[in-house]
Amino acid sequence: MLERELVVSNRLGLHARATAKLVQLLSGYRCNATLTAKGREVNAKSIMGVMLLAAGQGTSVMLRVDGEDEQAAADAATDLFARNFDEGS
């Protein structure tokens, strides 16, 4: 199991488009993935779950991945957060 603390840095936070990108990305991996923020833990492969976090700009989230391709999934998600979900802000 791997854990990574990530910060939502794009201006609009984990809104619908950013959430869809994250869920689509993680759904391509076989490992289990969860996100934890504000005392809630959700399935990171569920659009509704991630949206329920209501993670705005500056929110710290914990990504937890567990399974055979966990390293690749964690690296890909970390890169997506670092790229601000390709939103340019």
Q: Active-site residue numbers?
A: 15
Structure tokens at 27: 């759904």
- CA 86-36-2 angle, to 5 degrees, is 80
- Of 47, 51, 58, the residue nearest 24 (C-alpha): 47
Orientation angle between helical segments 16-27 and 70-82, nearest 10 degrees: 160
Residue 49's CB: how many other CB atoms inside 10 A? 17
